[in-house]
Amino acid sequence: MQDKNGMNSKTNEKKKFSEIKGFSSFTSALMAIVIGLLFGFIVMLLANPNNAVAGFRYVLLGGLGRFGDVLYFATPILMTGLSVAFAFKMGLFNIGASGQYTMGMFFALYVAFMFNLPPSIHWIVAILAGMIGGMLWGFIPGIFKSLLNVNEVITSIMTNYIGMYLVDMLIRSNEAMYIPSMTRTKYIPQHVQIRSLGIAGSNVNFGVIFAILIAIVLYIILQKTTFGYELKATGYNKYAAEYAGMNGKRNIILTMVIAGALSGLGGAFAILAPSEIIGSSMTYEPINVIAVNGFNGIAVALLGNSHPIGTIFSALFISYIQRGGTLASLVGYKPEIIDLVISVIIYFSAFAAIMSSALGRFITRRNKKEKIVSNTQSVGNIEADINNKEAEK
């Protein structure tokens, strides 16, 4: 409806409209964040009024002193966030990021333990293996969606569980990588770990740089390539895109495979991260629990408005308040409060976009009315006005 208005009005108004649209997606995210944080503050007040202010200060500012950790914990959720966001652009809801992430972890672990490669390339191969694992797990919902028209939400939820059970089983049965007495995998050899960035007091590594670069590449793919254009066109209107000769079926599979690859890379970055403590590393615990980072990725993507660059910032933001939430436990609050805040943010971001686009529409209409008064009425303006009135109804 908005696009119709934009197309019908004159070019200068079109420009103004696009300004407001960009503005509104930012304000809507901001609006949702403010509401979510306020909600968190109220919960803190209810739980323990005496420490609420101190706790809330930790949530808001606690991340500042731990910037390395913010980057470190942002890496996996940035990748799963990109995965969900990329599929969203096509109109697909990739709720299966968890399964793809877990598969990515397993493939990376497998290469790390079972392959004998020169140290200089071993870690690269492990990362790529993680990507392939994710691709494989993204391919399943993709092919079921495109060939058999099975809803991707259900298949990807199922692949989450299948992936989790499968990986747990494979790891438990593999003596080379699993220590039964500690219910976790062995430490990964030093040379397979991703190089640390060397920030004291945190495990932050080159993974975060790779992740940001990947986000930028995705942005370019979406904005500058035919494939990206087809993807977005299919997301806006499937039938129109098909009528224009775009191969919807192929694009669905491709999108899900790429989304899977992104989540898989996230898993690889997470499991191959170095540890501050010499001789240790990240480990995987096969305890039949679905990877949380996949679901956090959904939050990241939604908050970032499914835009690759926006996703970078939302991943940093969520990681930031999560660090703050961990610190809030110093004054007796539970870190779960942050999950609650994030879910409230997501809830409101679902219709904050609608609220602020209504706001945007209101502003455009007022601008137009002013023009009508000052200028002699042009045909384009009248048309736009009629359209607006129709939209109002």
Partner 1 sequence: MNTIYYLVQNMLPVSIPLLLVALGGMFTERSGVINIGLEGTMLTGAFAGALFAYTIQGSGLSPNMILLICMIVAAVAGAIFAQLLSFAAVTMKANQVIVGTAMNMMMPALILLISKMFFNSDGITTNVRYFIREVPVLSGIPVIGDLFFKNTYLTVLIGFLILIISTLVLYKTKFGLRLRACGEHPHAADSVGINVSKMRYIGVTISGILGGLGGYFYSVGITDGNINGHNGVAGFGFLALAVMIFGQWQPIKIMFAALFFAFLRTLAYSIPLIPFLANLNIPTDYYKMMPYVATIIVLALTSKNSRAPKAEGIPFDKAQR
Task: Tell me how far, at minimum, the Cβ of 194 lies from partner 1, in Å.
Answer: 29
Nearer to partner 1, 273 or 341 (CB): 341
71 Cβ partners below 8 Å, 6+ apart? 197, 199, 202, 204, 208, 316, 319
State which of residues 54, 117, 162, 221 lies at the interface with partner 1 (CB under 8 A). Answer: 162
Beta-bridge partner residues of 196? 205
- With binding defined as CB under 8 A, does residue 299 bind partner 1? yes
In angstroms, how far is CA 22 from the centroid of its own chain? 19
Sign of the CA dihedral with 223 first, then 229, 233, and 234 last:
negative
Measured from the CB of residue 143, what is the shortest distance to partner 1 in angstroms?
A: 10
Asked if 154 is part of the footprint of partner 1 (rule: CB under 8 A), the reply reads: yes
Which H helix or E strand runs over 373? helix 336-374
**Is 393 an interacting residue with respect to partner 1 (CB under 8 A)?**
yes
For 79, the 3-state DSSP assignment is helix
Query: Contact at 8 Å (CB) between 224 and 152?
Result: no
- Least separation in angstroms between CB 370 and partner 1: 25
Taking the least distance from each CB to partner 1, the nearer of 151 and 183 is 151
Q: Which is nearer to partner 1, 57 or 172 (CB)?
A: 172
The one-letter amino acid code at 361 reads R
Two structure tokens written together for 252: 């669905």
* Strand duo 184-185 + 178-179: pairing: antiparallel
Nearby residues of 237 by Cβ (< 8 Å), 6 or more positions away: none
Part in contact with partner 1 (CB under 8 A); list of ranges 54-62, 164-172, 216-224, 228-236: 164-172
Question: According to CB under 8 A, which residues from 313 to 372 bind partner 1?
Answer: 334, 336-337, 339-340, 342-344, 346-347, 349-351, 354-355
In the bound state with partner 1, the residue whose beta carbon lies nearer, of 196 and 296, is 296
Reading the block at residue 67, the tokens are: 């910037």
- Residue 206 or 347 having the CB closest to partner 1: 347
What CA–CA distance (Å, rounded) separates 383 from 376?
14
- Residue type (1 letter), 257: V
58 vs 115: CA distance, rounded Å: 44
Of 28, 155, 311, 326, the one binding partner 1 by CB under 8 A: 155
Nearest CB to partner 1, comparing residues 97 and 126: 97
Tell me, residue by residue from 218 to 257, as one string, x for binding to partner 1 by CB under 8 A and - for no binding: ----------------------------------------
For 178, the 3-state DSSP assignment is strand
Does residue 79 touch partner 1 according to CB under 8 A? no
* Count of residues interacting with partner 1 (CB under 8 A): 47
Two structure tokens written together for 115: 């392959």
Where on the chain is the footprint of partner 1 (CB under 8 A)? Answer: 43, 47, 93, 95, 140, 144, 148-151, 153-155, 157-159, 161-162, 165-166, 168-169, 173, 289-290, 295, 298-299, 302, 334, 336-337, 339-340, 342-344, 346-347, 349-351, 354-355, 390-391, 393
